[in-house]
Amino acid sequence: MYKFDLTPKIQNILKLVPQPRKKSGFKVALICIAVALILTLNRYLGDYRFILTLLHSLELNELNVIFSSLMLEHANAQLHQLLYWAASIILFYFILPILLIVFILKERLAEYGFAIHFNWDSYKPYLLMLIIMVPIIGYFSGTQSFMAGYPFYTVERTEQLYPNFVMWQFFYFLQFIALEFLFRGFLLHGTKGKFGFYAIFVMMIPYCMIHFGKPLAETIGAIVAGIVLGIMSLKTKSIWPGVMLHYGVAIMMDLSVLYRKGMLF
């Protein structure tokens, strides 16, 4: 009887990961504290409703009126809300870690998965995953819950995709870069010197937790996705294949729903 053994594959990955070093403790502590603060700040300051409450409590009436108008009363209020959410993720998940790496840790961004490695073998598994997802997304895009939840930016029947939907997709893509950089770059590659291969599981826990509040299946799926994307990031030493996969699935979901609704062509 054939046995499926992952041990050789894990051993091959372990060869690519530096052995844990005792002197990396301060760096790991700094990165873990930074990630906790980043997730906390984004959770609150990335919510426009919290900002409205904060401005009101601080009696900053003029700012409150302007911000409230943009988020609630403007004709493009939905777009403004989404752009604010994406901008918050880009600031906290991407810009702040870069500042820490460059000015505090004084290391190269390439050491945190930011380098682009043009290696077909690195991208082939991601492309295969995308191909596998096509029929799955095609099937579920016709379900009521799927059509109600995607795209995040709701396109009205009489609305053109350009400029609002296109603008949203651009920022949507940028936030996926930020997401992958924080978890599969900053946190994963920043702690692998201490934890080796097991840095994947350190990263997977907060990655799963940011999905709390979403459907149960999606949150459980984030555990699997976090591990798989972590393994691939260690293997390729790059976040970019993960960005390709993450956004590739997202844009297919959005376009599939628009097609089902007869709004794509």
CA angle 56, 57, 59 (to 5 degrees): 65
User: Has residue 97 got a pLDDT over 80?
Assistant: yes
Query: What pLDDT, in 10s, does the model give residues 199-226?
Result: 999 999 999 999 998 878 788 989 999 9
Q: Number of C-alpha atoms within 13 angstroms, CB side, residue 99?
A: 9
E strands, the chain, in order: none
Query: What pLDDT, in 10s, does the model give residues 19-45?
Result: 555 557 899 999 999 999 999 999 999
Give me the pLDDT at residue 218, please.
80
**CA torsion, ordered 41, 243, 14, 202, to nearest 10 deg:** 20
User: Is the bond leading into 151 cis (omega within 30 degrees of zero)?
Assistant: yes
Mean pLDDT on 100-116: 95
Whole-prediction pTM: 0.89
Give me the pLDDT at residue 129, please.
84
User: Has residue 14 got a pLDDT over 50?
Assistant: yes
DSSP 206-242: HHHHTTTTS-HHHHHHHHHHHHHHHHHHHHHT-SHHH
Cα distances from 187 to residues 20, 54, 76, 122, 175, in angstroms, run 15, 30, 35, 21, 16
Domain range annotation of the chain: 11-260
